[in-house]
Amino acid sequence: MTLQNQPDPLPAAASHRADAGFSAVSSSSTTQSLRNAVQYLCSLQHQQGYWAGELEADSSLESDAIMLDHYLGDPQPDRVRKLAVSIRDQQMPDGGWALHPGGPPNISLIVKAYLALRLAGFPESDPALKKAQKLALELGGVEAANSYTRIYLCLYGLYDWRHVPAVVPEIILIPNLAYFNLYELSAWTRSIVVPLSVIYSFHPNKTPPHGVNLKGLYTRPDGKPPAPLSELELNWRSFFHTADRVLADLERRQWMPLRRQALKKAEQWILERLEGSDGLGAIYPAMMNSILALDCLGYRHDHPIFRRELELFWNLALEDDRSMWMQPCYSPVWDTAQSLYTVAVSSMAPDNSALCRAAEWLISKQILKSGDWSARNPKGVAGGWAFEFNNDPFPDVDDTAMVLLALSSVRLPDEARQRDSLRRGLEWVLSMQCNDGGWASFDVNINKSVLCHVPFADHNAMIDPSTSDITGRVLETLAALGFNQQFGPARRAIDFIFSQQESDGCWHGRWGVNYIYGTCFALRGLAAIGIDMREGACVLGSEWIRSCQNSDGGWGESCDSYENPEYRGRGPSTAAQTAWALLGLFATDDFESESVRFGIQYLLKSQNSNGGWTDGPFTGTGFPGVFYLKYHYYSVYFPMLALSEYLHRRSPGSNAQRPDFADILQPS
């Protein structure tokens, strides 16, 4: 795993590339580089046909794992010790922990890490903990941690339940037609909040072992966080803050007449979404919360459901002889779709059977039953794909579009089955288009920004609005299946993407870091669907990409760009972000500029001897400003795709990339 480092200075833009050692790129060297990369990626394919790279996140996952292990009453000493080693390894020289390598210290991570290490047996006098304590107080102490961190502290009696946001299960009883209801929240928030509301209603309070306390991390005697707003300030945030205090007061008075009904429905909601999934949402925070909720509801630890959920949680752990770290989830569908597409369009696959195995595996993972998305889209017919191995209730548009793009790049012996899978997937994607013309992740029209002011909204993911990167990918998929810009949904999507362009020419990236990612896939979608890339907006986008190139020829962007404009399009070069920048330029039919050749040269020089590339910085986004990811295969298949398109001079709008699936919406 990657250790946290001190922030690096921002690299300078490449202003005089010819003076920096620029030379022409050899076609033969590019061909050999691509061939080596294809061989390496194919060697990573599982026998069943899929790819699944490691997914890395921050230290909060290991901290939560230690807390859960102790909370359930039977912590495994060796596991706790290894998790603690991982936490210590990620501590920065200043005593803190960051959301991503090179990022600033984060108070929530520091509080969690401090508690986890204390639970693991580290004394308060440990030098690492003393440094962490000092930094925590400088950053505002426990009171400054986010709401979910403070709620977890309540489980051990280390924080007062009265001072955390009221997450009441009665929310599940609010009709879907109401302005504020469960299905106005994003899918990932629903999967986190429903079990959390069960936990909140029981107010569990277990005594921590070893006399552990956090007294040295508080800045206020009462531990109460300062009020976020003046009582006289009238806006949505103060409204929700007032409503939260009213709910908390009713909770203290135990006047919740619908509590039993709400808990029963919340339990049913959780159990229904455990079916066909590898844990609730098949992702870390929801899985952990569901385990805690089942414990609160009285499920014995040897109950088959409880035992299964706990086993699935610990299956996310990776370890070596010295340490253990947690993955937030698995990414096999995403990695397989990206890898299949990249290998297929390279025209260098060792044999067609590997591609067919990947395509068949993807088709086997298509979800053909209704899921949580149907509450917002009742007329939609199931046919999407999820990100993980099994997560039937929560397919998403981005994965589905990428799978369709991958499946359209190969020919299977059973073409009728392939066409049927493509048709059902496409119909589901089209049914998920939002009113603004774009596509979001898991739902339709989850975009009420006022809900971002709810007190427990500090995970920065309450809503699921349309994004340029997903919409661009859908346009690229539509083009691959034979549609053009005259197709109604495509016209609306084009308008949406142009409406989202920033004044300097770039696009925001929701699911990749950040503006380089968003600009790449916005341009690729526009090019693929047939937009004239000489239009001013497209030229402006390509010029923005060029303006961000580093002096080493590569591109990079820090996760901090989500919160700090200084990092917009800037950061140490990475293979993945260099590939995104090049792919964006290719979309504008630029294969010959100095920027492109210098970028290709960067990829050739930074390639490992095994054929892959290695990136240190995180380039994936979970929740902007809150949670970031490192996809270990991003630095393999994205550079491969860039080299492939450069070598073949084939932009996403090229007819050479479009198999004949133009009649896909017709019966096969």
Query: Which residues belong to the active site?
Result: 398
Which distant-in-sequence residues (6+ apart) come within 8 Å of 218 by Cβ? 141, 142, 143
Identify whether the C-beta of residue 538 lies closer than 8 Å to the C-beta of residue 526: yes
Per DSSP, what are the bridge partners of residue 512?
620
Return the number of other C-beta atoms located less than 10 Å from residue 539's C-beta.
13
Identify whether the C-beta of residue 426 lies closer than 8 Å to the C-beta of residue 408: no
Closest CA to 116 of 161, 147, 141, 79: 79
- R_g (Cα) of the chain, nearest Å: 25
Calpha distance 434→199 (Å, rounded)? 33
Strands 55-56 and 324-326: unpaired
CA atoms within 13 A on the CB side of 295: 23
Closest CA to 48 of 500, 485, 326, 364: 364
DSSP letters of 466-508? -BHHHHHHHHHHHHHTT--TTSHHHHHHHHHHHHT--TTS---
Could you give the C-alpha distances from 344 to 424, 477, 512, in angstroms and in order? 22, 15, 23
Which distant-in-sequence residues (6+ apart) come within 8 Å of 118 by Cβ? 124, 129, 208, 210, 212
Which distant-in-sequence residues (6+ apart) come within 8 Å of 197 by Cβ? 167, 168, 169, 171, 172, 262, 266
DSSP letters of 411-479? --S-HHHHHHHHHHHHHHHHHT--TTS-B-SSSSSB--GGGGGSTT-TTS-S-B--BHHHHHHHHHHHH
Token match 């001013």: residue? 536
Helix H, strand E, coil C: the string for 16-31 is: CHHHHCCCCCCHHHHH
Helix, strand, coil content of the chain in percent (nearest 5)? 50, 5, 45
Calpha distance 67→215 (Å, rounded)? 18
